[in-house]
Structure 1
């Protein structure tokens, strides 16, 4: 099955200018010869160049197209690859794919093209994951991190760790295998320094995960407040579109609405929630409970208060909910275009912005205040050489770090050197999990199962 010729549509479903069918495997050129007639029958199709002609099923023309042949190993999968560029209608691309399958290809599974690139040694597992991150990237910063990883920066760092550990392994093996040499020092100063350097760098990478996760997935920001204070109007102002229904009736928002905006290169996952209040309406009450759950999960809370009304028990309930969860909060005093009646003296809020969501006043000031939060979190500072964004990598590095800590304890306590050898193997195996040199089918299925079929 690994060496079957596979094919899939690599462009999104639906109508478009171009639809691309990708074929990979030993029979790629053979299949193309069966279904493609170049406009000039005497033309050599060559490699890595577009050829104009027609896709046909026997005597029936299916579509006019441009095709490219790519010769192994200089392809994405390191196999012979053909890409057929046809018209982008869903019916046309499906007919061409069916024709390819009828002539000897098998439909590709999710992520199988990238999986073959990994299996054939063109990329490691961390680079394969970067492909998916690149496809799903929401901002320039997240794409930049994905490109660093795709380029092999993480792989190179892991390989440098492994080299240092292998040098130590070699020394330990000499001590264990040749006791007659009389080597007493379990770990010379130079090797211990190298081990400490790996430990410290692994620690830094682990600590970079929270930042990387926020750059990749976004800062979860929940908009909360009692009903009818302008939360949905605020969401619409930030999105610059009418995304949420806005009425004067309290309790209009029953469910959560989630959208992503870009604040200076950092994705902000905005969640507009139902107004928090006591209610007998079953559906609205479910929305209120969801709002409370989102406060618990949020990185940042935007608390919307109506500046034209005095504080009420419903406002205080929302504030107490935020304080109980110890959340960072920006208070937005909305409706400042009306007469001000609110008094916040009973609370010691640090970040307050006055806005009118309906009149679009103060929105830029609010965005600046949100960006200040991002600065405080040091999310925008992605200048470090390497940042990890994948929890699988973080977990493997934590296992590596634990193994190194055990080595130090073994040396300091004067325990047998055999224990050092065991922990060194554990550290090396954990690092190899990141690059895929050691990987179970479950891990591979999980990684490539998140891909679309044509990738």
Structure 2
């Protein structure tokens, strides 16, 4: 079980993103939070009592000279009703970097320690305010690229995954208690435990929900990390036009000159709630110049990493040998043929080009025709054709998924042991191993090194 945070250290950091803004926030947490605020904050009402969770108007000054730095609002929040369960102060200043940095330097000079990445949330976890699944949900909220990604993170923050795991752990604790009784009284003539009943409980309460969580981890990965979709084709088939149309902005230059795109262009787009990284590649051809060849090499690297290739061809002309060669070079990847320029007279003979054109989608990137069908096809190819995604929000991340799979392996050994009549003490070892892996998910048995890895993903001030 993680130990409470060090209650003798007070930390401070700028909690708003770098850059100019209307408001910038500096957060302080620890036993000296209020004292440190009082060193630099001069309230308009000099007789204020600093009631918890109430904003006070005043100014920030340099303590030694009373030099004025900024006009601010400050709030003191007394433990334990705070984010970290420690005394917390927030100073709401103007959002210029120099102003915020100057205030932070005053606090550090007054004895505060600069917070490490994620240290505020780590203290919230160590002090028992949130479990590890909720802490990781904070990262997901900050990094989400789509509304569905935010919704998933909010579900995790509300405790959905924690409750699923906690229910399984509770059931395993009951099973373990029965096994321990049987181990302690081996001389009893009557069998203490009902193995068929234990098998049923293990299957219904643990193994089935465990399998569901592991299955849903793919959904979670896609919503958190997105998928890489690479647009490939010969020069001037309309790759950049397709990128601009999907993004609904002029991101790539479009000209009739072959080789305009000489490097990969990457942008995210929301397709059905999935964050899709679209990559527009340089047109791959043999007679490219030196700079263009470098872009083509990057295009090939992107293709090798892709989750889906959009192979774009020009429907207003017949396929060439170069088209066919390029198709052979990329067809080892999941691929969707996109027949562009339906707004022009069509010369492509789809019936004689079934290898490339079979199941291909006809669109006009210029007129936006067929784009809805294309987005639907991209979504279905990426998700494996799932008609709907589960809505309960239990979608483990990679770390959690690994722990779930390790727990599953141990608990399948428990099931096998119960079926084969293995001794209770050996079954109990596997059961405890499964419990420990589930404990890693919520932070009950997580090592300090793993905690450092998790919280180092945070930005400063969170």
- TM-score range relative to shorter protein: over 0.9
Match of residue 339 from structure 1: 345
SS of structure 1 residue aligned to 2:279: strand
> What's the counterpart of residue 48 of structure 1?
53
- Picking from 247, 255, 260, the partner of 1:252 is 260
Residues 173 and 372 of structure 1: is their aligned pair in 2 closer, same or farther, counting only changes over 3 Å? Answer: closer
Summarize the Cα distance change of 1:257–1:187 in structure 2 as closer, same or farther, 3 Å threshold.
farther
Q: 1:39: which partner in 2?
A: 44
Once the 2 structures are TM-superposed, how far is the Cα of residue 441 of structure 1 from its aligned partner?
A: 2.2
Deviation per residue, 1:116-149 (Å, 9 max, x gap) = 0011010111111000101111112111111111
| Equivalent residue number for residue 435 of structure 2 | 428
Taking a change above 3 Å as real, the CA distance of residues 368 and 398 of structure 1, as seen in their structure-2 partners, is closer
> Could you tell me the TM-score, scaled by structure 1's length?
0.93
2:296 aligned residue = 288
Please tell me whether residue 161 in structure 1 is matched to residue 161 in structure 2: no
Q: Residue in 2 aligned with 1:7?
A: 12
Q: Which moved more, 1:3-12 or 1:234-243?
A: 234-243
Task: Answer with 141-150 or 189-198: which moved more.
Answer: 189-198
Structure 2-normalised TM-score?
0.92
Q: Give secondary structure in 2 for the equivalent of 1:180.
A: coil
CA–CA separation in structure 2 for the residues paired with 1:39 and 1:179: 75
Q: Could you report, residue by residue, the CA deviation over 1:235-293 in whole angstroms, capped at 9, with x for unpaired residues?
A: 11211222122333323323322211112333222111222333564543443344334
Deviation of residue 338 (structure 1)? Answer: 2.7
Aligned residue in 2 for 1:171: 178
Count of residues in Structure 1 that have an aligned counterpart in Structure 2: 452
Match of 1:240 in 2: 248
Q: Work out which of the residue numbers 121, 131, 134 in structure 2 matches 1:124.
A: 131
The range that moved more, 262-271 or 13-22, is 262-271
Q: Distance in 1 between matches of 2:429 and 2:82?
A: 40
1:228 aligns with 2:236: yes
- Contact kept, 8 Å, 2:311 with 2:335, in 1: the verdict is no
1:72-91 alignment to 2 at 5 Å?
72-91=79-98
Alignment of 1:252-331 (within 5 A): 252-279=260-287, 281-325=289-333, 327-329=334-336, 331=337
Query: How far off its partner does 1:395 sit?
Result: 0.6
The alpha-carbon distance between structure 1 residues 452 and 176, as it changes in their structure 2 partners (threshold 3 A), is same
Which residue number corresponds to residue 21 of structure 2? 16
From the superposition, tell whether residues 296 and 366 of structure 1 become closer, same or farther in structure 2 (CA, over 3 Å).
Answer: same
Matched, 1:196 2:203: yes
SS in 1 for 2:187: helix
Distance 1:180 1:368, change over 3 A: closer
Report whether the alignment pairs 1:213 with 2:221.
Answer: yes
1:374·1:380 contact (CA, 8 Å) conserved in 2?
no
Query: Structure 1 residues 17 and 398 mapped into 2: Cα distance closer, same or farther (>3 Å)?
Result: same
